[in-house]
Structure 1
Amino acid sequence: MALVSQSELAGKIIKLTAMRLDTKLPWLTEAIHLPECSFDLKQTSGTDGSRLCWNTEEVFKTYAEDPVLLERRYLHLILHLLYLHPYRRKKETEYLWWLACDLLTEYRIDRMNIAGFERPVPVGRSRIYRKLKEEKVVLQEHSLALWLEKLKPEMIKELENVFRRDEHAYWRQMEASLPSEQRIRREKMPDQVVVGLQKQLTAMHRWRTVFESLELRKSEHRRQKGGSAGDVEEMIVLQKERGYDYRQFLQQFAVTGEERCLDMDSFDYIPYDYSRRMYERLVLLEPLEYKEVRRLSDLVIAIDTSGSCSGEIVRRFLEETWSILNTEGQFFRKMNIHVIQCDCVIQEHEQITCEEEWKEYLDKITVKGGGDTDFTPVFRLVEKLQKNGRLKNLKGLLYFTDGDGIYPTERPEYETAFVFLNEALKKGKPPAWAHSLTLDLCEETTT
């Protein structure tokens, strides 16, 4: 009987760990099984952006101590990859960025209600979470790094002992902004360098794709379970922790419709090819000229123009919103966006039907108002627009505000989200029936 090497045995343990974690977090199946693993006695455990690098002795020791502890370590590395931590550092001090990523990763895991994981949360971590909440620190990597800069070295050391779980030195070669594929082709680089950079870009795009599908996978899993309450409800919505992902949020407002384009998915190539080869001027089948797609049709963007919302802050919000609405394939070619400025009365109402009109609106926009805040006029106007047929497919309304104002008492038939630039500007609490979104954009960027 052949002896199993240490690397093979460690590989079997990690494979079993991934399978156990998969049963607890089925919506993370693709992410859990995506990375390759390497095992070595000389390396420290961590991730280099694509692989999970394991120290074999550490695997044996951790598994012998507590198999669930190894599951948590595995999940810690997966979340680093999902959030592209190895690629994202720009201006932050290296060791502070590393610690911010570890702290936030452990916080996310503690927010998950995973069977067998530590409950209640240990005192050391729980105390830090309370401190962050009391100081109103935005739970986002950049904001945490800024917060860490203010701490004394002994406090930093304590946090590292509590939250550090892996080696981040692997990240150094990828933390600098990666060149684009166009730049790789344009600049003369050694073949070995080009291959390495393309590999990094491929890994980064692959993890981003997996990340963007997580919310859909979670929703499908909940439907399969009948929507029953339980530990799944405590699973943190990953994207919320670094600023709510508008793309995912807006997609729930999409409607089905036909777009003029070649629908190659519905095209049967066999008779088409046969006719082209057998007959000179006869084609038996052409591709369909219309394709059924799900995209945004109608959307209302309301802007609180009371005295507490400056023109620069409003402009920043609109620029951020446009960067998303401008994404290819997000809207039908003919869009129907209503932009409403309101303090305690409607100050301006513009309808935008195409990209050119949106750009023109951004160029000429002036914030009108400056009075007290009353949200109800916007909802009355939207009701009027629905009755007269100007908003036929409205699924959602985005209301940019600081939150301090008079809210409607009744829930409308469409989804409503009150959007805040960051936690520091959040003054009021939206009603329970509305979504509360925080972009986590730094206020200083608007000044």
Structure 2
Amino acid sequence: MHTLLHCLFLHPFASPGQNRARWDLACDIAAECIAAELCGPRPGNANGGTEYALGRICGALQQIPLTAESVFELLKTGRFVDDEQEWQQLFCVDDHRFWYERPDVRSTAGAGAGEGHTEETPDSESEAETQPGGESPDDTPDKGSGHFKSPKNAWQYAAQSITSSMKHQPASPQSGWGRNLSGLFANLRVAPRSYKKPALDEFLRSFATFEETPRPSSDEFDYALYTYGFALYGDTPIIEPLETRDEKRIREFVIGIDVSGSVWGPMVTRFAQIVQGVLCNEGLFSSAPRIRIIQCDTQIVEEDVIDTPEHMRKWIEGLRLHGGGGTDLRPVFQRVDELVEHGEINDLNGVICLTDGYANFPKCATPYKTAFVLTPDGAQNLVPPWAMTFMLEEEDFRST
């Protein structure tokens, strides 16, 4: 992700002149910062050295977004000259030598863009008003032209495609971006969009995946050809109706419930009823479902496996909460990893945890879709940025 962000932010295509080392450091700081926002902290950074350094840099930038260009300008002031060597060890995780050993980008870009095309550098006075490398925001590469053959323009095209998607789709925690990702928007030169918060049932439906079900698909069945076969042959249709169709279902799913003292009683019961309504009333239960419900405070205190809609109904009717101590959700994810490793979970749709947010969370992003549903007074700012978040409100219970 770190290296991919370098390319999308066009870091390799600027010419830092005599300040190559500082430009490399500025690019690494910006890429590592955004990669951490997207994926969570890098493993092995337990001492928090990068977080401390980023805090100092953001403090010095004040309200200026953290980008390679803004950090580069900050480093040029010499304010952090004594820290640069230490920061290089913290943030340098890939090799930049190929940025400077490739064919001359200026001549390649110039051949496609026309005579007179020049490339700005981070040292130029107009850098703050241009895109990285001096490209104008309106200089959109044509995918079918020779201009697109430049590596720089190929990556610029990819970055602009992402930007276009962000401009035309509402940002939300459900979509995976829109919260704690202001740095990504700043580096891609696009402002985050506001969004309308989805209802809880809609949020839960986002975990369903397509599954082949034994039902004819009227959308894919051609009645004209079917009846023409009877007209042509008497008793033989040309096409038999399709015996299956793809529908969104939830097959393997894990629900973690924070049973600390602050998450208790009616809140948990109502949440379970909403989940039951979405799974049962909207036909999201798979033909062979395995819904695991894990209660956890500082350790797992109860685990149930639901395999039918009727079983789900009876579980809610006889719901008993255990625990009541502190809050540590890491055992839930350790249990899920154990089940996956032993082959008891083969096609996990996702993990969703009900909590107040005042908990210990996994440091790194999970390889499966993860969401935390927070109680109305939950601490959203404590939830790791790599996970989806849904803040419960009273209207969520009324609407469902």
Scaled by the length of structure 1, the TM-score of the pair is 0.44
Determine which structure has greater relative contact order: mean sequence separation of CA pairs < 8 Å that are 6+ residues apart, divided by chain length. 2
Higher helix share: 1
Scaled by the length of structure 2, the TM-score of the pair is 0.49
